[in-house]
């Protein structure tokens, strides 16, 4: 595949690894989620523009909308955790342990 | 001649009120004018009464057509029948004496002219009430006496207790007014009128609802059990007010209303039983409460309430004419009892507690005489005034087919009447003086002596006089066994003896800690304590909770959102085995993804 595609794909992979492996702040995980969303958006837009598949050009927009919603949800969870503990260290999320 | 004289005597009463715009109001002789006006009105009203007694002819005067609302015609109409023709002279006579008494009692009051104006306005509204031929005019009089009662009870408005008592009177009367208005509405719907003649002529069949409404109105106005606490509290007003309103005239308005509707009541057995039981409960309960009170005016107030219960009992055994006779005779001796207590209170420098009186037997002979005669008349000693009505009531109740429990209550209350009368006499008059040595005992004022003397003669002779001159209505029971005839006398003598024995025996003993029976009687059966606190608290807290908590916190917050979150948390704690190691989970996810990518070459 072309260099541009590999570039975007690499961005996606880096964000994915950053989402799944982080030290202690929940915020970094959310930021990487946004990064994943951004790379997917660019990939989709490029593919649609290259193949002149005009009908599918609404897909990136809708992806953007849903990503915004999930970002808001993620942030509200972060705020809840931050309200209780003051910091968003992930080792604090241990209320469900048996 | 008859009708015009009656109208003149009623009109004469309104003259001093209308003259208040002139200069005579500012004079200090205005009270004398009022007293003279009432005496003239009394004498003028005697003539139509005697004409009525001679001929037995009733009259209805319909004067002025006020308005017609579709099919309802309202006009100013006076019904001058047996009840109103006899009540008007009696009420005017008693009011005349009370006015003269209050010339002495309220002598040092700076607003004495306003006091007399209020008393006169009260009298006018009472006259409107008793001579009303339609329910609308009766309601005008009804509300009028309520308002004047409020103004007069709260006469010394600087005193908190007086304001509370006046407000209490208005509130309890209002609850009774609901019944009155319900009855008016029913009559308007079902008989298309508020005129008494048309209602009695149509004789409607199912009269349960309006008669219940009228019974509720009588309960409120005449202080029957359930709506009774306002009457003892109304003793916060000056003694002439207590004598006029709360013994002779206003509180009998409720009984008068039931008497007016006796053609409807004699067909309805259910309402009669209700009336009988209500009156029996009232008379016994208030007599029990009167036994341990320490304020002389409160004892007499409870005595009034007990006698009102007796009148209601009489209506319950279908004897409206006997109840009316008791109203008329009761006015005399009860007003006199209040005036004697006013004389004692003023002489002992505003002392109302009977535990601080004593030994007045020798110091105030005239007041003593009238107090003893008033008490004897109250208990129904033969051939004094009270005998002619009270004894007849007890005899009729004994020989009629009625509720035995109600009869027993009435008999016990009759003996308790003697008990608390003895208590008053014993504490206030007999024994050694318990008041302060520097006394101002003086009963030499001609106003005081003349007014009490007039009512004294009335207390002794009025019963005989009235019952021999009225025409026969319902025939009293003529034959009965001797023990039944003597029942009232026997229980009264029993009451006197018991009370005197107990008083003399325990006079020098130490008062131990109050027993529960004493506390029940002294705190009025705990009725005001419970009913003035619990229902208002419950109502107000319920309304506050429903207004603020119900919509906001329950419906909007708690039902869906919080309940769902609580449920989720509880169940997830219940069924989960996690330890919350998020990084481990994310790492394992990444490793799984990478391994699957490498093993299966998915990107190719």
Model pLDDT for residues B439-459, shown as the tens digit of each residue = 888 888 899 999 999 999 988
* Structural domain includes residue B553: no
Closest-CA distance, A16 to chain B, in angstroms, reads 8
Q: Which residues of A touch B580 (CB under 8 A)?
A: 93-97
Start-to-end CA distance of chain A, whole Å, equals 49
Distance, CA of B448 to CA of B211 (rounded, Å): 43
As a whole number of angstroms, the distance between CA B412 and CA B491 comes to: 8
> A20 to chain B: which residues are within 8 Å by CB?
586-587, 589-590
Residue B184 has pLDDT above 50, yes or no: yes
**Which of B418-427, B439-448, B519-528, B572-581 has the highest mean predicted lDDT (pLDDT)?**
B418-427
Query: What's the domain range around B92?
Result: 1-510
Please answer whether residues B136 and B181 qualify as being in contact, where contact means their C-beta atoms are separated by less than 8 angstroms: no
Query: Smallest CA–CA separation between A20 and chain B, in Å?
Result: 5
CB atoms within 10 A of CB B299: 26
Distances, alpha carbon A90 to alpha carbons A27, A57, B312, B350, B406, in Å: 10, 38, 83, 83, 82
Q: Which residue of B has its CA nearest to A16?
A: B590
DSSP sequence for A11-55: HHHHHHHHHHS-SSBHHHHHHHHHHHHHHHHHHHHHHHHHTT-GG
Interatomic CA distance for residues B137 and B144, integer angstroms: 10
Asked, for residue A80, whether it belongs to a domain, the answer is yes
Whose structure tokens read 């019944």? B179
**C-alpha to C-alpha distance for B257 and B249, rounded to whole angstroms:** 12
Bridge partners for B78 per DSSP = B61, B132
Query: Rounded to 5 degrees, what are φ and ψ at B69?
Result: -110, 100
| Buried residues in B363-377 as b, exposed as e (16+ CB within 10 A) | bbebbbebbbbbbbb
Answer whether B590 sits within 8 Å of A16, measured CB to CB: yes
Read off the pLDDT of each residue in B201-220 and give the average, rounded to a whole number: 91
Residues of A in contact with B582 (CB under 8 A): 90, 93
Nearest-angstrom CA–CA distance, B403 and B313: 11
pTM over 0.90: no
Residue A97 resides in a domain: no
* Residues A41, A64: Cα–Cα separation, whole Å: 7
CATH number at residue A55: 1.10.287.3510
Instruction: List, in order, residues 6 or more apart from B423 with CB less than 8 Å away.
Output: B291, B299, B354, B499, B503
- Estimate to the nearest angstrom the gap between the alpha carbon of B229 and the chain centroid: 8
Task: Select, from the ranges A54-63, B69-78, B430-439, the one with the highest average predicted confidence (pLDDT).
Answer: A54-63
- Closest partner residue to A93 among B573, B582, B587, by Cβ? B582
The percentage of chain A sitting over the pLDDT mark of 70, rounded to a whole number, equals 94
Closest by CA position to B355, among listed B426, B251, B437: B426
* Domain annotation covers residue B519: no
Q: Is the ipTM of this complex over 0.90?
A: no
- Assigned domain for A98 exists: no
Interface of A with B (CB under 8 A): 16-17, 19-22, 29, 90, 93-98
Distance between alpha carbon B10 and the CA centroid of its chain, in Å? 25
Instruction: Kindly tell me the burial class for residue A50, based on how many C-beta atoms sit within 10 Å of its own C-beta (0-12, 13-18, 19 or more).
Output: exposed
Radius of gyration for the alpha carbons in chain B, expressed in angstroms and rounded: 32
Question: What's the CA gap between B65 and B377, in Å, rounded?
Answer: 45
Query: Are residues A20 and B590, on separate chains, in Cβ contact within 8 Å?
Result: yes
Distance CA B251, CA B261 (A): 17
Q: Cβ B578–A93 below 8 Å, yes or no? A: no
Question: Do B200 and B261 meet the contact criterion of CB atoms below 8 Å apart?
Answer: no
Cβ–Cβ contacts within 10 Å for residue B506, how many?
10
Average pLDDT of the residues in A21-41: 91
3-class DSSP assignment, residue B77: strand
- Res B578: pLDDT: 62
CB contact under 8 A, A21 and B590: yes
Which candidate in B568, B586, B602, B604 is best for mutational testing of the A interface (most A CBs within 10 A)? B586
Is B550 contained in some domain? no
Residue linked to tokens 């209550």? B409
Q: How many domains does chain B have?
A: 1
Q: Taking CB atoms and an 8 Å limit, are B589 and A98 in contact across chains?
A: no
Token match 């990487």: residue? A32
3-state secondary structure of B225: coil
d(CA B152, CA B239): 10
Task: Please report whether residue B252 resides in a domain.
Answer: yes
Alpha helices, H only, B192-295: 196-202, 208-221, 230-233, 239-243, 252-260, 262-265, 269-290
Determine the Cα angle at B456 with ends B454 and B460, to 5°: 120
* Closest Cα in chain A to B589: A20
- H or E, element range at B60: strand B59-69
Please tell me the total count of domains within chain A: 1
Give residue A32's pLDDT: 94
CA-based nearest residue in chain B for residue A96: B573
CB B371 within 8 A of CB B340: yes
Residue A20: count other Cβ atoms within 10 Å of its Cβ. 19
Residue B583 to residue A22, Cβ atoms within 8 A: yes
Instruction: Work out the percent of chain B whose per-residue pLDDT is above 90.
Output: 44
What pLDDT sits at residue B550? 81
Tell me the C-alpha to C-alpha distance, in Å, between residue A84 and each of B106, B293, B498, B528.
75, 65, 79, 53
Are the C-beta atoms of residues B352 and B345 closer than 8 Å to each other?
A: yes
Neighbours of B561 (CB within 10 A): 10
The DSSP bridge partners found for residue B62 are B77
* Strand, coil or helix: B68: strand
CA distance B588 to chain A (A): 9
Angle, alpha carbons B277-B283-B288 (nearest 5°)? 125
Contact B576 A20 (CB under 8 A): no
Name the B residues in 548-577 with CB < 8 Å from any A CB. Answer: 572-573, 576-577
Number of Cβ pairs closer than 8 Å across A and B?
A: 36
Residue reference for tokens 């342990």: A97
| Mean pLDDT on B313-329 | 91
Within a domain: B394: yes
**Interchain contact, B590 vs A17, CB within 8 Å:** yes
Q: How many residues does chain A have?
A: 98
Please give the pLDDT value at position B23. Answer: 67
Residue A54 lies in a domain: yes
The answer to whether position B70 is within a domain reads yes
Q: What percent of chain B has pLDDT over 70?
A: 98
- Which residues of chain A make contact with B587, given a CB cutoff of 8 A? 20-21
**Chain B residue whose CA is closest to A21:** B587
Sort residue B435 into left (φ over 0), alpha (ψ -120 to 50) or beta. beta
For residue B580, what pLDDT band results from cuts at 50, 70 and 90?
low
Residue B127 belongs to a domain: yes
**pLDDT tens, residue by residue, B339-356:** 999 999 999 888 888 888
Q: Mean pLDDT throughout B206-216?
A: 92
Contacts of B279 (CB under 8 A, 6+ apart): B224, B309, B310, B311, B312, B313, B314, B315, B316, B406, B410
Decide if B598 is inside a domain: no
Q: What is the pLDDT of residue A98?
A: 43
Is residue B22's pLDDT more than 90? Answer: no
What pLDDT does residue B579 have?
63
Range of the domain at A60: 3-92
Sign of the alpha-carbon torsion through B299, B101, B86, B373: positive
Mean pLDDT of A18-34: 89
Inter-residue contact B37 to B16 (CB < 8 Å): yes
**Does residue B137 sit in helix, strand or coil?**
helix
State both tokens at B143.
């509300």
């Amino acid at each position: 595949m072309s260099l541009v595609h590999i570039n975007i794909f690499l961005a996606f992979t880096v964000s994915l690894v950053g989402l799944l492996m982080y030290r202690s702040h929940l915020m970094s995980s959310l930021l990487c989620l946004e990064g994943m969303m951004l790379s997917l958006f660019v990939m989709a837009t490029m593919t649609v523009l290259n193949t002149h598949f005009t009908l599918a050009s609404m897909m990136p927009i809708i992806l953007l909308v849903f990503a915004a919603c999930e970002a808001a949800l993620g942030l509200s969870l972060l705020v809840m955790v931050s309200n209780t503990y003051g910091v968003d260290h992930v080792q604090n999320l241990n209320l469900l342990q048996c | 001649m008859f009708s015009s004289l009656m109208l003149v005597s009623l009109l004469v009463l309104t003259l001093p009120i209308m003259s208040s715009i002139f200069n005579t109001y500012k004079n200090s002789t205005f009270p004398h004018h009022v007293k003279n006006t009432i005496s003239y009105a009394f004498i003028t009203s005697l003539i139509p009464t005697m004409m009525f007694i001679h001929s037995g002819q009733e009259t209805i005067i319909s004067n002025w057509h006020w308005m017609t609302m579709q099919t309802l015609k309202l006009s100013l109409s006076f019904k001058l029948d047996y009840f109103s023709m006899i009540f008007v002279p009696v009420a005017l006579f008693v009011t005349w004496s009370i006015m003269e008494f209050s010339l002495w009692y309220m002598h040092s009051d700076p607003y004495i002219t306003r006091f007399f104006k209020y008393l006169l306005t009260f009298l006018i509204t009472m006259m409107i009430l008793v001579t009303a031929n339609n329910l609308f005019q009766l309601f005008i009089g009804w509300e009028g006496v309520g308002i004047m009662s409020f103004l007069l009870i709260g006469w010394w408005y600087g005193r908190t207790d007086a304001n509370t008592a006046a407000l209490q009177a208005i509130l309890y009367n209002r609850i009774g007014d609901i019944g009155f208005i319900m009855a008016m509405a029913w009559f308007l719907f079902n008989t298309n009128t508020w005129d008494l003649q048309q209602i009695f002529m149509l004789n409607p069949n199912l009269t349960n609802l309006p008669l219940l409404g009228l019974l509720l109105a009588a309960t409120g106005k005449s202080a029957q059990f359930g709506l009774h606490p306002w009457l003892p509290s109304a003793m916060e007003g000056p003694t002439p007010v207590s004598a006029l309103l709360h013994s002779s005239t206003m509180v009998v308005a409720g009984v008068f209303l039931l008497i007016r509707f006796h053609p409807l009541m004699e067909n309805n057995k259910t309402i009669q039983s209700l009336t009988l039981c209500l009156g029996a409960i009232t008379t016994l309960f208030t007599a029990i409460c009167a036994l341990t009170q320490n304020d002389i005016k409160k004892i007499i107030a409870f005595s009034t309430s007990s006698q009102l219960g007796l009148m209601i009992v009489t209506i319950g055994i279908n004897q409206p004419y006997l109840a009316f006779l008791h109203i008329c005779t009761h006015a005399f001796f009860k007003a006199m009892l209040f005036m004697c207590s006013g004389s004692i209170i003023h002489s002992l420098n505003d002392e109302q507690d009977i535990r601080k009186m004593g030994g007045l037997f020798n110091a105030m002979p005239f007041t003593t005489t009238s107090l003893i005669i008033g008490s004897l008349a109250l208990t129904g000693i033969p051939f004094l005034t009270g005998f002619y009505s009270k004894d007849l009531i007890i005899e009729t109740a004994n020989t009629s087919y009625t509720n035995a429990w109600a009869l027993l209550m009435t008999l016990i209350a009759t003996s308790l009447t003697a008990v608390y009368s003895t208590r008053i006499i014993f504490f206030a008059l007999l024994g050694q003086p318990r008041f302060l040595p520097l006394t101002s005992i003086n009963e030499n004022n001609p106003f005081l002596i003349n007014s009490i003397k007039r009512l004294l003669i009335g207390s002794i002779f009025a019963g005989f006089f009235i019952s021999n001159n009225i025409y026969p209505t319902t025939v009293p029971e003529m034959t009965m066994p001797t023990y039944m005839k003597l029942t009232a006398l026997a229980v009264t003598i029993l009451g006197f003896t018991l009370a005197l024995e107990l008083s003399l025996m325990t006079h020098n003993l130490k008062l131990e800690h109050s027993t529960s029976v004493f506390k029940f009687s002294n705190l009025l059966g705990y009725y005001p304590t419970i009913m003035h606190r619990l229902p208002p608290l419950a109502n107000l807290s319920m309304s506050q909770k429903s207004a603020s908590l119900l919509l906001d916190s329950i419906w909007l917050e708690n039902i869906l959102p919080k309940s769902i979150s609580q449920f989720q948390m509880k169940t997830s704690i219940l069924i989960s085995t996690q330890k919350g190691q998020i990084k481990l989970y994310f790492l394992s996810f990444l490793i799984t993804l990478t391994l699957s990518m490498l093993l299966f070459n998915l990107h190719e």
